[in-house]
């Protein structure tokens, strides 16, 4: 009995340390979408990065899958206060994608099929911290969770991880995306509870 409760206590302390302030743990994977789920066939899918001077680089689905693919194990945190620990994804690093573009832009607007947008500092997309993910727990990403591909920026609140992402527009000046226009934070760090303005 003592061993069991000590083990449980140790596990709880470990997960508590990984839980940002004001968050609770969930084992589920809630679906949070502002509108209907767009259906995008892989042969219609494109991912495009447009630089601040209007130069554009575009990948088809096959070109995208030919890029270096990374396995990602990470915790995710939604501003509605659920966190999910130890999720597994596969995707292409934003470092790889941004290297294809000549840019000094400080900000990016992620654009999704269906019209969703969210803004992020370009620095937050670099350094092995952001991906365009197309697999979750070893399976193709469900349409409800953003399949065929979504942004994955797990060190920021999950609204920054645009589902059904179709590209980035790079910008010299920051501009608010969909939720940011409605009061969500321009940055969104869960560890300092940057939830709203």
Ligand X SMILES: Nc1nc2c(c(=O)[nH]1)N[C@H]1C(S)=C(S)[C@@H](COP(=O)(O)O)O[C@H]1N2
Nearest to 107 by CA among 56, 185, 170: 170
One of 8, 9, 10, 32 touching ligand X (CB under 6 A): 32
Is 31 a binding residue for ligand X by CB under 6 A? The answer is yes
Kindly state the tokens that stand for 50. 């447009």
Rounded CA-CA distance 75/155 in Å is 8
Contact code string over 140-159 relative to ligand X, x by CB under 6 A: -----xx-----------xx
Closest contact distance (angstroms) between CB of 135 and ligand X is 13
Chain residue at closest Cβ approach to Mo ion: 78
Rounded CA-CA distance 56/150 in Å is 19
Closest contact distance (angstroms) between CB of 16 and ligand X is 21
Is 89 a binding residue for ligand X by CB under 6 A? The answer is no
Q: Which residues of 90-129 are buried (b: 16+ CB within 10 A; e: fewer)?
A: bbbbbbebbeebebebebbbbbbbbebbbbbebebbeeeb
One of 20, 42, 106, 114 touching ligand X (CB under 6 A): 114
Task: Decide which of ligand X, Mo ion, none touches 170; Cβ closer than 5 to 8 Å per partner kind.
Answer: none
Footprint of ligand X (CB under 6 A)? 29-34, 78, 112, 114, 116, 145-146, 158-159, 161-164
């Amino acid at each position: 009995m003592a061993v069991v409760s000590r083990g449980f206590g140790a596990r709880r302390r470990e997960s508590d340390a990984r839980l940002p302030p004001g968050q609770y743990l969930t084992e589920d994977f809630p679906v949070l979408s502002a509108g209907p789920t767009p259906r995008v066939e892989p042969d219609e899918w494109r991912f495009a990065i447009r630089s601040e001077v209007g130069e554009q680089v575009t990948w088809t689905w096959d070109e995208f899958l030919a890029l270096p693919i990374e396995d990602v194990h990470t915790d995710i945190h939604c501003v509605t206060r659920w966190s999910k620990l130890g999720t597994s994804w596969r995707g292409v690093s934003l470092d790889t994608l941004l290297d294809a573009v000549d840019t000094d832009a400080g900000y990016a607007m992620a654009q999704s099929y269906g019209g969703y947008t969210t803004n992020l500092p370009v620095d937050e997309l670099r350094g092995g911290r952001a991906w365009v993910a197309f697999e979750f727990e070893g399976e193709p990403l469900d349409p409800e969770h953003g399949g065929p591909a979504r942004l994955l920026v797990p060190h920021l609140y999950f609204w920054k991880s645009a589902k059904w992402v179709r590209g980035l527009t790079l910008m010299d000046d920051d501009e608010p995306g969909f939720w940011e226009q409605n009061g969500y934070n321009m940055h969104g760090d869960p560890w300092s509870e940057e939830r709203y303005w």
